[in-house]
Structure 1
Amino acid sequence: MNAYPKRIHFIGLCGTAMGSVAVALHQQGWKVTGSDEKPYPPISDFLAKHHIPLSLGYSSENLPKEEALIVVGNAISRGNPELEAVLNRKLLYTSLPELLRTHFLQGRHNIVVAGTHGKTTTSSMIAWIFEVAQKNPSYLIGGIPNNLGQGACFRNPDTSRYVILEGDEYDTAFFDKRSKFLHYLPELTIINNIEFDHADIFSNLEEIKLSFRRLLQLVPSEGMILLNGDDVNCLDIASYASAPLVEVGFSENAGNRILSPWQKEGHCGFTLFGEAFDLPMTGEHNLRNAAMAVAAAHFYGIPLSTIRKALLEFQGVKRRQEIVATINGITIIDDFGHHPTAIRQTLEGLRARYNTARLWALFEPRSNTSRRAVFQKILPEAFAAAEGVIIGAVARAEQLSSSERLNPEQLVLDLTAMGKQAFYEPSTDEIIIRLQSLAQPGDVIVIFSNGSFDGLVKRLQAKAVTTNIPLVVGR
């Protein structure tokens, strides 16, 4: 780190990883600033809590006057006025993954958690297990684990030898189109699953699998690869591994076979390595996430009794099945889900937990994939466990042609044909009005969005305060 001035500025600060690293550097004594558009909780609250100056909007005026390192977020593209000023002034800039690789990760035991789904929860579990085991871990997670209170922590490398990283297959920056996880110098790599996603940068599933094959080729011969033994796409890339590889799953062929799975009263559990584990979460996907975390911790010699204790104490991650309120008998849950598989698994897990409640799913098609028509035919089945569904407006719809764009009206027709109560409401005000006529005590409302959904949770709260409606929520 000594090669850089201890002054740093983040363009696109409110990405979860960017914001988490910014706070970690601030805690190490760096002077940190950043800029972004339309920040939203929890990351905006997290930055404010740690007194990180945030400029709203992008402008050359945001850039530091003194010598500084500029970190360019992967959502920032040419034409951004702040980026253009960086290039014209010939300022020192880098990407977040490259900053991590060069100045944080070399010479350390890096555990990289990859896959289409479950990265944030699995990496959070591993970081917490290592914390409980007193391994003094560093970590970078694309969310805020409730046990840890922040998504990034970079401790002194002399005493913090283990780094747990959420490894994203999305591209690195406008000037580096490789997947982020290819920068992370993995010693142990987990691949939870592989599906098509990120339709804005990948043309098909084979392109995504190519990135994962490249990740496998980076794991050293003394390292380890943990692969989902029940996922056909994971198995398809296994032959590209040069490091030892162990399959984790329910299959009889899995080297680490998950046995005796169960779900009951908000918990799930399983047996692995002859030890019974209990997790205060629901859903088969969380059970699989936990099994991967157990296998990773076991590889590094953490006692099974310590792993079991840590999992039992695991409190989840913000915006992953996060209960934000239970008031007037109505439970409100905030979830980051935006891919059909993630939505389906979350609703199935919640159905097991709230087996007699009516589940209402509110979905904002906001991610670069979910707002496209690529999932038009399979999205209806993702909501099978819900009694009713409300679809919000397609984000940035004007950027896509009608043939490229998800058709929410058709989605509602398909859901209605399945026997669901389904509605398309293009504004949050209309969603609130619809909920007033639908929600009853005992219901569970799940809000799915990888953004703020136009502040829907806070808008619901404000509406309740001003109108005395029975539906009251709050963070």
Structure 2
Amino acid sequence: MSSFKHLHFIGICGTAMGSTAAALRTLGYTISGSDEKVYPPMSDVLRQAGITLTEGYRAENLPAGADLYIVGNAISRGNEELETVLERKLPYISMAELLKQEVIQGKRSFVVSGTHGKTTTTTMLAWIFEHAGKDPGFMIGGVPENFTSGARFNHSDLFVIEGDEYDTAYFDKRSKFLHYLPECVIVNNMEFDHADIFPDFAAIQLTFQRLLNSVPRNGLVLLNGDDKNCTSLKSYAPVKTVGTGENCSERILITEASPEGTAFEINGVAFSVPMIGEFNVRNAAMCVCAARHAGLTDDEIRAGLETFKGIRRRQQVRGVVGGITVMDDFGHHPTALRETLRGLRQKYPGQRLWAVFEPRSNTSRRNVLQNDLIEALKEADGSVIAAVANPEKVADSERLDPETVANSVTSAGKACFHEPDTDAIVARLKAETRAGDVIVIFSNGGFDGIHGKLLAALA
């Protein structure tokens, strides 16, 4: 622990900021923080941890005795607290740099990166370590079912962290994961995303290459061997390629798929995971290879995988009414939608699948992946696409056209409807669905409470 005692977080209620603040509190730091919107569940978590919270950003919120001010990723110039920090020449830092200095330095850092699957893979690896009695530290950008919180900082030499390629802070436009001092890096996959900060795919390749450049020679890089974007990366550290292709050094073979889970082999060694779809098998295979690097036995790894419970908002059943299953999923990239729908075919064989999609993320609101979205929605038996969230933030020429998406999917033989608001979506689904159907709602936000409204309407 450093000489810092009191830390003040500007923007404390974000998932990562809040989890970091609460975990640092358990190490004995005095923590305070402010946010524009202070509401449950994060506000409850922080107050229960003994953290002083202030709603709104004002100069008087800044505690005079703080040693360091942490500026959140969502904070920009013009924020009253930030402006005061700058004017008073107070010491400030990004959350990612704080983690590097106060938490990760000196540990065996396992960084899980990629466009998709980061949260699940990070949680799975942390749980494998936990189940084996290794008491790892971790930082997860979600709510893990196997743990009571999304972050734990302790004195274990093992630390597992979700490596986000998004930028760090208004004053540091590098990807967050470039601060995480990896001994082992997992690259699950690599696609164009975050259209608001990356001008093109080459910029994404560059930031992932920089991540690999930080892995020491006694570390390990695990790449998706079936993704040519991943295998194009170079490394000074040893590399293992993980995938189903014959050229992969760690070759995956799925041996059994049931509604309850999936059995697979890696180079002939058997494992299983209580999850569906090839996508989750790939996540699990990465964890097997990373855990072996950490020194765990295959028996320890198997036991961890078989008791993994997953992540909230990842294929989470919110209710079953009249034989209709309503499910919540965080997916917001066409590839994530496609792979989730394919996996759900394994879990619900012979049942009709409905996909409901809210274009809410900075990339999905744009038309850059519009054709990919059309192809993804064709995987469902029927689908509904909502209006673009905050459309004024995207130029007309760059904005996704939900009407075109709906017409294109429908003309391919799969019914797709574009509805203007949540009530219209609920009415449409009530009219179109029947007992035995499965409705999966894809959104990276609250989606106007649609899950509860839909369950109520179906009842």
Report the TM range for the smaller structure's normalisation. Answer: over 0.9
Cα displacement string for residues 134-186 of structure 1 (whole angstroms, at most 9, x for unaligned residues):
11100011112111121110012xxx000001111111110001111110010
The aligned amino acid for 1:228 is N
331-340 or 414-423, larger mean C-alpha shift: 414-423
**Does structure 1 retain, via aligned residues, the 8 Å contact 2:8–2:66?**
no
Tell me the equivalent position of 1:3: 3
CA apart distance, 1:249 = 0.8
Query: Could you report, residue by residue, the CA deviation over 1:60-91 in whole angstroms, capped at 9, with x for unpaired residues?
Result: 34433532532212122222333223322333
Alpha-carbon distance, 1:253 to partner: 1.5
Trace 1:105-254 onto structure 2 (pairs within 5 A).
105-156=104-155, 160-237=156-233, 240-254=234-248
Q: How does 1:75-90 map to 2 (within 5 A)?
A: 75-90=74-89
Counting matched residue pairs gives 459
Q: Is the 8 A contact 1:200 1:369 kept in 2?
A: yes
* Equivalent position amino acid for 2:4 in 1: Y
Structure 1 residues 4, 113: CA separation in 2 closer, same or farther (over 3 Å shift)?
same
Check whether the contact 2:109–2:183 (CA below 8 A) recurs between aligned residues. yes
Q: Is the 8 A contact 2:30 2:51 kept in 1?
A: no
Q: Which amino acid aligns with 2:81?
A: E
Residue 316 (structure 1) aligns with: 310
Letter in 2 for 1:167: G
Change (3 A) 1:35 1:269: farther
1:262 deviation in Å?
3.1
**Residue deviations 1:286-316 (CA, integer Å, cap 9, x gap):** 0100000001011122111111111111000
The residue that corresponds to 1:328 in the other structure is 322
Superposed CA offset, 1:324-352 (max 9, x none): 22233222211111011011101111122
Question: Is the CA contact (8 Å cut-off) linking 1:371 and 1:405 kept in structure 2?
Answer: yes
Q: Offset of 1:323 from its aligned partner?
A: 1.6
Q: Please say if residues 145 and 151 of structure 1, whose CA atoms lie closer than 8 Å, have aligned partners that are also in contact.
A: yes
**1:377-406: per-residue Cα shift (whole Å, max 9, x none)?**
211111122122222221221122111111
Counterpart in 2 of 1:263?
257
Which one of the candidate residues 368, 384, 389 is aligned to 2:383? 389
- Equivalent position to 1:415, from 395, 404, 409: 409
The answer to whether the Cα contact below 8 Å between 1:319 and 1:336 also exists between their aligned partners in 2 is yes
Match of 1:73 in 2: 72
Secondary structure of the 2:303 match is: helix
- Rounded to whole Å, the distance in 1 between the matches of 2:397 and 2:183 is 43
Q: Which residue is equivalent to 1:351?
A: 345
Question: How far apart are 1:42 and its partner, in Å?
Answer: 6.2
Whether the 8 Å CA contact 1:125–1:314 is kept in 2: the answer is yes
SS of the residue 2:65 aligns to? coil
- Distance, in Å, in 1 between the alignment partners of 2:52 and 2:423 is 31
Distance 1:261 1:91, change over 3 A: farther
Which residue of 1 is the match for residue 458 of structure 2? 470
* Contact persistence 2:167–2:176 (CA under 8 A): yes
Letter in structure 2 aligned against 1:78? R
Q: Is the 1:69–1:94 contact (alpha carbons within 8 Å) kept by the matching residues of 2?
A: yes
Contact 1:351/1:385, CA 8 A, preserved across alignment? no
8 Å contact from structure 1 (residues 40, 451) kept in 2: no
| 1:455 match: secondary structure | helix
Q: Quick check: 1:338–1:449 contact (8 Å CA) kept in 2? A: yes
Instruction: Decide which moves more: 84-93 or 403-412.
Output: 84-93
Would the aligned equivalents of 1:42 and 1:318 in 2 still touch at CA under 8 Å?
no
Structure 1 CA distance for aligned equivalents of residues 421 and 50 of structure 2: 33
Change in CA separation of 1:454 and 1:260 when aligned onto 2, cut-off 3 Å: closer
Secondary structure class of the residue paired with 2:398: coil
- SS at 1:454 equivalent: helix
TM-score (norm 1): 0.91
Q: Tell me the distance in 2 between the aligned counterparts of 1:44 and 1:282.
A: 33
Give 1:455 shift. 2.6
The aligned runs of 1:424-443 (5 Å cut-off) are 424-443=418-437
What CA RMSD, in Å, does the superposition of the two structures yield over aligned residues? 2.0
Of the three residues 265, 284, 291, the one matched with 1:297 is 291
Partner in structure 2 of residue 285 of structure 1:
279
Structure 1 residues 83 and 153, CA gap change in structure 2 (3 angstroms): same
Q: Which runs of 5+ in 2 are unaligned?
A: none
Give the TM-score taking structure 2 as reference length. 0.94
Identity of aligned residues (%): 54
Measured in 1, the distance between the counterparts of 2:338 and 2:39 equals 25
Counterpart Cα distance in 1 of 2:343 and 2:335: 12
- Partner in structure 2 of residue 27 of structure 1: 26
Q: Partner amino acid for 1:293?
A: C
Distance 1:191 1:15 in 2: 25
